[in-house]
């Protein structure tokens, strides 16, 4: 008697992860270009013996606080992905909410710093580049927070389970890249000035 075997399980590649990886790489190139211009003009300005940022304009504390906030969010984002993978819905909610709150806190701190810094955008090339680079990063964090909000909506609707966790994994790739870019902002703009 002939036995009809079931079809082999389709090992479907994770399209959302691949797509997010492409878009994240594009975002990295965007910031790569901005940093290249930043270093190029900074080097030129300093070579001419001119001032880059005015004395005491760039404070270490706001950048450091943002870095600490985002560092913690890396752990909470990883926690969210782990919780979804293990169908631990309560912890997934908690981790996603915490990550989103960290993102909002980072945006809040940066906006406060913009108000406080007293450095107009048209002060110099340095000021312009500072606002463009940190502003673009702020937009990236904002998109990440919106994405997390959508994830929460889906999670409350019961759609994020261990079988459908791609959206959470893709969001975590995006979030980690956001933090990765901030490391450069913190090192080269806030610390290196």
Partner 1 sequence: MKNESTVVERIVTTTESVTLSRYWMVSALIGLLFSSVAGLLVSLERIDLSSASIFSTADDVFQFWTAHRVALVLIAVLPLMIGLATAIVPRQVGSSRLVFPRMSAFSFWVWLFGALIIIIGFLANGGVGTPDATSETQSVALTLVGVLLTIIGICGASTSVLTTIVAGRAPGISLLNIPAFSWSVLVAGTMWLATLPVLVANTVLVYVDMRGRAPVNFGSEAVVWEQLSWAFTHPQIYLWVLPLLGIVAEIISAAFKNKISNPFLFTAIGLTGAAGFGAYAQTYFDIGTPVFEEAFSIIQAFIAIPAVLLVVAFISPKIKDLKGFDKQTTTPAVLATLSIVLLLHGVVVGAVHVIGPLELSTRSTVSAQIVLTLGAGVLACMAAFSWWGELLIGKSISQRKILISGLTFHFGVGIFAVADFLVGFTGQNDFTGVSEFAAGTDGSSWVETLNIISFIGSLLILLGVIAAIATTVQHVLSKTPATGNPWGADTLEWKSKEKEEVA
- The verdict on 128 binding partner 1 (CB under 8 A) reads yes
Stretch 135-164 residues interacting with partner 1 (CB under 8 A): 135-136
- The verdict on 88 binding partner 1 (CB under 8 A) reads no
Q: How far is the CB of 7 from partner 1 (least distance, A)?
A: 10
Compute the distance between CA of residue 78 and CA of residue 120 in angstroms, rounded to an integer: 38
Q: Which residues of 114-128 are buried (b: 16+ CB within 10 A; e: fewer)?
A: beebebeeeebebbe
Compute the distance between CA of residue 134 and CA of residue 137 in angstroms, rounded to an integer: 5
Identify the residue among 83, 129, 130, 155 touching partner 1 (CB under 8 A): 129
Q: DSSP labels for 5-74?
A: PPPPP-----HHHHHHHHHHHHHHHHHHHHHHHHHHHHHHHHHTT--SSPTT-S-HHHHHHHHHHHHHHH
Report helix, strand or coil for 158: coil
- The verdict on 10 binding partner 1 (CB under 8 A) reads yes
Compute the distance between CA of residue 107 and CA of residue 137 in angstroms, rounded to an integer: 10
- The verdict on 183 binding partner 1 (CB under 8 A) reads no
Q: How far is the CB of 16 from partner 1 (least distance, A)?
A: 9
- The verdict on 31 binding partner 1 (CB under 8 A) reads yes
- By CB under 8 A, which span of 58-66, 75-83, 129-137, 176-184 interacts with partner 1? 129-137
Residues near partner 1 (CB under 8 A) are 10-11, 13-15, 17-19, 22-23, 25-27, 29-34, 36-37, 40-41, 43-44, 47, 121-122, 124-125, 127-129, 131-132, 135-136
């Amino acid at each position: 008697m002939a036995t009809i075997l079931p079809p082999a399980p389709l090992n479907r590649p994770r399209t959302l992860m691949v797509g997010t990886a492409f878009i994240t790489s594009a975002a990295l190139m965007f910031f790569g270009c901005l940093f290249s211009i930043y270093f190029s003009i900074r080097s030129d300005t300093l070579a001419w013996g001119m001032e880059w940022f005015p004395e005491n304009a760039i404070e270490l504390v706001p950048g450091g606080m943002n870095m600490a906030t985002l560092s913690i969010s890396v752990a909470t984002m990883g926690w969210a992905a782990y919780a979804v993978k293990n169908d631990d819905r309560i912890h997934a909610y908690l981790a996603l909410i915490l990550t989103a709150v960290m993102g909002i806190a980072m945006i809040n701190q940066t906006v406060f710093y913009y108000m406080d810094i007293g450095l107009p955008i048209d002060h110099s090339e340095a000021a312009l580049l500072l606002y463009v680079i940190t502003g673009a990063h702020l937009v990236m964090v904002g998109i990440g927070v919106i994405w997390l909000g959508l994830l929460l909506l889906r999670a409350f609707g019961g759609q994020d389970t261990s079988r459908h966790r791609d959206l959470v994994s893709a969001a975590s790739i995006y979030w980690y890249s956001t933090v990765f870019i901030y490391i450069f902002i913190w090192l080269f703009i806030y610390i290196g000035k």
